[in-house]
Amino acid sequence: MRFITKHIHGDRAIWAIVALLSVFSFLPVYSASSNLVYVLGIGSVTGHLIKHVAIVLIGISIMYATHRIPFKYFSGLSVIALPIVWVLLVYTALQGNMIEGSNASRWIKIPILGLSFQTSTLASVVLMVYVARYLSINKDKDIYFWRSLLVLWLPVLLVIATILPANLSTAALLVALVFVLAFIGGYPKKYLLVMLGTAGVFLTLFIMTAKAYPDAFPNRVDTWMSRIESFTGDGDANTNYQVQRAKTAIATGGVLGKGAGKSVMKNLLPQSTSDFIYAIITEEYGMVGGLSLLFLYLLLLFRIFMSVYKTEHLFGQLLIVGVGLPIIIQSLVNMGVAVSIFPVTGQPLPLISSGGTSIWMTFLALGIVQSVTAGRMAESDEKNPLAILSEAV
């Protein structure tokens, strides 16, 4: 216990919530992996569990290492990292892997590790840190629209534009979160309205272009439209079968559930280990398990707000909101899809769903939050090369 209190800093409640969610994730991932093994013939159930445990342990290491970095350094690092992640996004869009034959290029292969890396998740974290940096630096300055258009909105546009063709849900969430952070950070509301209208125009033009030239973006707009039609009830049975099976899993779970590993729908529901894992959890652990999981995410949201309240630095406050709030929004969207509140989006359940990059980026974001709550400032900026680099950019 002394070792933990000595080396782990920040909000202890957040550490506890992360630990509970991470450990709990082993059970549903182990159970739902049977879909990958017996239906798709990929690996073994034990192998998938071992892989997930290893990914979680690496994620915890990322969170621990990140929370030891004084949060002020993330300001300069975001400026350096943003061009890098944009290049990775462009490379992903051009060379990314095809998913079941559709143009959903979201991953790039890492040959040495034998893993796939989803660049949009890293770009989302870096972009939110960059926006927080801009808002904190210009808090007491007069913001001129054309200057902010170049320094703030151009980087946002470049990142969103490269994510949008393959991942509408991530792009939409990122746009919404950027606007929320800009509103909280005091960016002029009249300029926000202008940018909001501009974003709507760009999205309309993209959809019209994709419709006019379907070979450039095969299947993507049609996929979005079918999901919306399925959500509104206009789609056919083959379109909304995922939602129907998820609702069946939740309905048959009852109050206490069927028990760990006893889900029936896990072998019938696509993406049962990621996008629809909440439905499997509710089937196996019932309404009690589903509501308990929701409570943990809401508790995490409360601790994030408390961390913002206790933080005196504006950059730290915006940093917590920028990287912490997306985790909660993503979890609510994932659970909302399972219970048919939202259309299918393809968003995993943070800290629970199987995966690699999404888990690691969630831990990275939580490490940044804990860095702020720990208030770890450098003892000597002059002697620290990282601090000098941060101030220079």
For 95-141, the pLDDT digits (tens) are 755 444 444 456 777 666 556 778 889 999 999 999 999 999 998 88
Coil vs helix vs strand at 232: helix
Q: Which residue has the higher pLDDT, 214 or 146?
A: 146
pLDDT of residue 378: 38
Mean pLDDT is lowest, of 30-39, 133-142, 184-193, 326-335, for 30-39
Q: Report residue 386's pLDDT band, with 50, 70 and 90 as the boundaries.
A: very low
Whether 223 shows a pLDDT value over 80: the answer reads no
**Count H helices, E strands: the chain?**
16, 2
Distance, CA of 317 to CA of 186 (rounded, Å):
13
pLDDT of residue 110: 66
* Cross-strand pairs, 108: 117
Distance, CA of 184 to CA of 322 (rounded, Å):
10
pLDDT of residue 385: 42
Q: Report residue 26's pLDDT band, with 50, 70 and 90 as the boundaries.
A: very high
List, as own/partner pairs, every contact residues 207-214 make where C-beta atoms lie below 8 angstroms and the sequence separation is at least 24, other chains included. Answer: 210/165
Mean pLDDT for the stretch of residues 310-316: 91
| 273 DSSP 8-state letter | T
Q: Report residue 342's pLDDT band, with 50, 70 and 90 as the boundaries.
A: confident
Per cent of the chain over pLDDT 70 is 81
Mean pLDDT is lowest, of 67-71, 248-252, 266-270, for 266-270
Token pair 């048919």 is found at 340
Please give the C-alpha separations between residue 373 and each of 42, 66, 117, 137, in angstroms, as whole numbers: 42, 12, 29, 20
| One-letter identity of residue 80 | I
Q: Report residue 17's pLDDT band, with 50, 70 and 90 as the boundaries.
A: very high
Classify the C-alpha dihedral 40-41-44-48 as positive or negative.
Answer: negative
Instruction: Give the total residue count for the chain.
Output: 393
* CB-CB contact of 299 with 375 (8 Å): no
Q: Which residue has the higher pLDDT, 310 or 233?
A: 310
Mean pLDDT for the stretch of residues 3-32: 88
Mean pLDDT is lowest, of 84-88, 200-204, 302-306, for 200-204
Classify the C-alpha dihedral 284-337-270-120 as positive or negative.
Answer: negative
Shortest CA distance to 349 belongs to which of 282, 284, 277?
Answer: 277
pLDDT tens-digit map of 343-382: 888 789 999 998 778 899 999 999 999 999 987 433 333 3
Mean pLDDT of the chain, nearest integer: 83
Q: Which residue has the higher pLDDT, 243 or 351?
A: 351
Structural domain containing residue 332: 2-392
pLDDT of residue 228: 65
State the total domains in the chain.
1
* CB-CB contact of 326 with 369 (8 Å): no
Mean pLDDT for the stretch of residues 238-253: 80
Classify the C-alpha dihedral 28-30-31-34 as positive or negative.
Answer: positive
Token pair 């993330």 is found at 74
Q: Which residue has the higher pLDDT, 18 or 90?
A: 18
Q: How many CA atoms lie within 13 A of 289 on its CB side?
A: 24
Whether 63 shows a pLDDT value over 60: the answer reads yes
Distance, CA of 391 to CA of 385 (rounded, Å):
10
Coil vs helix vs strand at 99: strand
Whether 2 shows a pLDDT value over 90: the answer reads no
* Cross-strand pairs, 107: 118
